[in-house]
Chains A and B, each alone.
Chain A
């Protein structure tokens, strides 16, 4: 197996973090929908909280993505 093949496998493993982020974001959004259905008057507050939570959850996926990019573009040379 060549070096570039191993780098590709590593990059693919690194972006697997997206699975966890997707799961977390889905759960958070579902809970937010439940909360809004229960208390529609708290809509704007829930919205702001959800956005903040999603940003924090998403960062795991973003770190994996950045790691994969760094691996592809800097390790091959």
Chain B
């Protein structure tokens, strides 16, 4: 980081945009309560909106120029497939694993606090936190019931915990850490759990013979393809989540890199999509697909 004193021209540009921006906002406030004319409020409203836009734009320009002059902001574009490693008590640990430990600890603490302080005070008519919790639990119960055929508490609670972990790891990104879901090893491990669950429930419901018979149905010749598509399930689940999360991260990093010192405000709007909405959709799809595959394995075919 170097501190070159900016030239006089740059200072004038900064001050000019700052003054003009403040002037536009002040002017907008002055005509905030317009007199009603024959044409109604419409022209005044249009003018106010224009001034508001001009003010925000000029202030943004000012902040960008200011940061640019001091060489602040503007980072180097750096994205790696594998996260950096850190040393904890002599073990080489991936930083995303450490972050996911933090998320797990925070979630466990939250669950404990909810159990001790909130759940004993539940009332007949849900309000506040109780309403949120009951909605979430019943949503995951309904999803399990719809996909699995009938209610299964163990499966529902596993997927609820998975959803909580994923949402927690998405929130971590807002604090500037690399989210654990952008690590292929994490997504692959949960996809492998799904793979184990598919086979466990398939064998539990139909027995070993029934599970093996499902490969040769309807014709014996398609057995290799069915086996292959079963083996592809964890890989496709893992790659889908990993690719989506990494893609969002790369896009946001690219925007920071391209805007340089002007990356004030605009990345926040993008982040709302790439850090909040998009991950939630992907987590829902991960859980939905896992349940669909499990439901497919236990399906009764005559």
Write the residues of chain A forming the contact surface with B, with a CB cutoff of 8 angstroms: 48, 51-52, 55-56, 58-59, 62-63, 65-66, 69-70, 73-74
Contact with A62, one of B240, B250, B288, B289 (Cβ below 8 angstroms): B240
CB neighbours of A55 from chain B (8 A): 240, 285, 288-289
A56 to B240, CA, bound (A): 9
User: Contacts A59-B239, A70-B81 given; 11 further ones with Cβ under 8 A?
Assistant: A48-B288, A51-B281, A55-B240, A56-B289, A58-B240, A62-B244, A66-B239, A69-B81, A69-B246, A73-B80, A73-B81
Instruction: Report if B185 contacts A (CB, 8 A).
Output: no
A66 x B242 contact (CB < 8 A): yes
- Per-residue contact bits, chain B 75-94, to A (CB 8 Å; 1 contact, 0 not): 00001110000000000000
Closest chain B residue, CB of each to CB of A64: B243
Instruction: Report if B236 contacts A (CB, 8 A).
Output: yes
A65 x B292 contact (CB < 8 A): no
Known: A70-B81, A74-B81. A63 touches B243 (CB 8 A): yes
Closest chain B residue, CB of each to CB of A61: B243
Instruction: Report if B247 contacts A (CB, 8 A).
Output: yes
CB neighbours of B289 from chain A (8 A): 52, 55-56
CB neighbours of B80 from chain A (8 A): 73
Most chain A CB within 10 A, of B80, B243, B244, B281, is at B243
B46 smallest CB distance to A (angstroms): 34
Interface residues on B, range: 10 to 19
A59 x B240 contact (CB < 8 A): yes
CB neighbours of B247 from chain A (8 A): 62, 65
Closest chain A residue, CB of each to CB of B288: A52
- Per-residue contact bits, chain B 282-302, to A (CB 8 Å; 1 contact, 0 not): 001100110010000000000
Closest chain B residue, CB of each to CB of A66: B243
B245 smallest CB distance to A (angstroms): 10
Closest chain B residue, CB of each to CB of A65: B243
A76 smallest CB distance to B (angstroms): 12
Within 8 A of A (CB), among B95-127: none
A27 smallest CB distance to B (angstroms): 19
A21 smallest CB distance to B (angstroms): 12
A62 smallest CB distance to B (angstroms): 4
A73 to B77, CA, bound (A): 13
B164 smallest CB distance to A (angstroms): 21
A70 smallest CB distance to B (angstroms): 7
CB neighbours of B243 from chain A (8 A): 62-63, 65-66, 69
Closest chain B residue, CB of each to CB of A58: B240
A-B contact pairs, 21 of them (CB 8 A): A51-B285, A51-B288, A52-B288, A52-B292, A55-B285, A55-B288, A55-B289, A56-B289, A59-B239, A59-B240, A62-B243, A62-B244, A62-B247, A63-B243, A65-B243, A66-B246, A69-B81, A69-B250, A73-B80, A73-B81, A74-B81
Closest chain A residue, CB of each to CB of B281: A51
A51 to B284, CA, bound (A): 10
A59 x B236 contact (CB < 8 A): yes
